[in-house]
Amino acid sequence: MATQEQPNILLVMADQLAPQFTGAYGHRIVKTPNLDRLAERGVRFDAAYSPCPICAPARACMMTGQYTSTNGVYDNGAPLASDNLTFAHALTLAGYDTVLSGKMHFVGPDQLHGFRARFVRNIYPADFRWTASREGPPVRQPLAFGERPGNFRHAWQYLASGVHVGSYNGMLAYDEETQFRAIEYLRVQGHRQREAIANGREYQPFLLCASFHHPHPPFHAPEEFWNLYKDADIDLPEYPENLEETYSTLDRWANIMYSADEIDIRKPEDLRVVRRAYYALTSYIDHKLGQLLDTLRQYGLDRNTVVVFTSDHGEMLGEKGMIQKCNFYEHSARVPLVVSFPDGRGAGRVVREPVNLVDIAPTLCDIGAVDPEIQQGEFDGTTLLPLIDGQSQPDRVTFSEMHTNCVYSTCFMVRQGSYKYTHVTGHDRQLFDLSTDPGEWNNLADTDHGRAVADRMRTLLEERFDIEAIERDAAASVKRRKKVQQALVANRYVWDVSPQFPVGRDCFWQYLP
């Protein structure tokens, strides 16, 4: 049994939520009152980044505290090895009950990775079928007669954004089930911990991860939240006349991957609908956060629970004429990150130093008093507690990577101070000074002013990563997985998660600890 100095931990995760589109980070339209109040009584990180701006790799990096080139989860079809220590493993060893409700997109036969239980089935394949080809660069193929342009799951689904009308929506139903399981778990834990405290007994602290699908596309918003923006003056991005000339090779690859080059995502009448639906779904997730916070308070758990809110990556949402993610611009690579302590530790503090999802694992381990020997040598990230307590770290540096999934070379981002450097091996590089160019329009990499800074940032990159070795490993990983997937299909074998209890809600209680 753990010591009672260890707080409970509630980790709430959204999917594809860019912080720029939340009230807590200053958006004038988007309504996020619950995230706002969490930030007011917690610590808000204003330069938190995804280690890999796509779903499965970002989450694997967060769980392991390792960059994607360390843990080998290069894309949405790559497995996380079972011998990788996660914060769920570490907190289990420290005495926590570790459970997951909702999405985590583990690929491979291990569908727990340290969690004692998962309360909801996954919604994405656990095998290698989403392994992306790395043979490129891509070439646009001519359309067959009657074929709809683009990938309907990507650019064209943005044009189908709007209000959800009808009795069933699979993605909304998934988030509702995720929320139901999470709240029921908190209710049971609240009763148990209250009873233990009343009788002078110790109780087992918990780590609950509640991970939601939205505001990931498709953007089909519940009517209640769609109506929040009925009369809103939806903001639209502005584009320079030479927009295409500002793109890096990585940007062009992403636009082909998501078919953004086949439709005019910049049309104001369409983009207003897309953004309204996204804003509505952001408010929907904020409402879910509020329900969880209210449940903590209702059962007295707010007095001993640390709350962390974040996302796996962002969403371009028309910025720079782009959609989705898979690039290193702020709207794609940055994530919201708010940490709130029950005793008000660091309340209201804003951290501007660059941090990363890989820093969450060592931070949770420190919060949970995990034995330092268990953590030693396991994490690429570093604990955020000094920053939470007000320590300045002006030289702090963080990285992001993309090596497969619509890219065809090793791609990196380096952020230090106000500078952001992006590197597409064998192609081009960019350097932005975010203090004077928050829109990332002025590439300084080969200017008299920026060349020395870009070279210094590249040195930081090369000191941390073996670029040639990563290129070889990423390419080999894709080839292996494509072969294994063929065998899995032939054998009709899948790794999809089966929760440790029947799906019916009336069976839930007996499977709690």
Pick the catalytic residue from 52, 55, 365, 406.
55
pLDDT at 87 over 60: yes
Contacts of 345 (CB under 8 A, 6+ apart): 43, 388, 389
Question: What residue ranges define each of the domains in the chain, with the CATH number in brackets?
Answer: 8-136+155-511 (3.40.720.10)
CA distance 304 to 302: 6
CA distance 337 to 352: 12
Of 28-32, 35-39, 502-506, least confident by mean pLDDT is 502-506
How confident is the model at residue 297, as a pLDDT? 97
Contacts of 373 (CB under 8 A, 6+ apart): none
Pick the catalytic residue from 105, 164, 214, 313.
105
Is 105 annotated as catalytic?
Answer: yes
Q: pLDDT tens, 119-144?
A: 998 888 899 999 988 887 666 554 44
Q: pLDDT tens, 433-478?
A: 999 999 999 999 999 989 999 999 999 999 999 999 999 999 999 9
Q: How far apart are the first and last CA of the chain?
A: 13
CA distance 37 to 290: 9
* Vertex 242: Cα angle to 152 and 48 (nearest 5): 65
Q: CA separation (Å) from 383 to 58, 70, 361, 464? A: 18, 18, 8, 18
Asked if residue 96 lies in contact with residue 207, where contact means CB atoms within 8 angstroms, the answer is yes
Select from 258, 276, 274 the least CA-distant residue to 266. 274
CA distance 481 to 268: 42
- Token pair, residue 203, equals 């109780």
- Token pair, residue 387, equals 């920053």
CA distance 398 to 337: 15
Q: pLDDT tens, 393-439?
A: 999 999 999 999 888 999 999 999 999 999 999 999 999 999 999 99
Q: pLDDT tens, 359-395?
A: 999 999 999 999 999 998 999 999 999 999 999 999 9
pLDDT, mean over the chain: 91
Q: pLDDT tens, 20-29?
A: 999 999 999 9
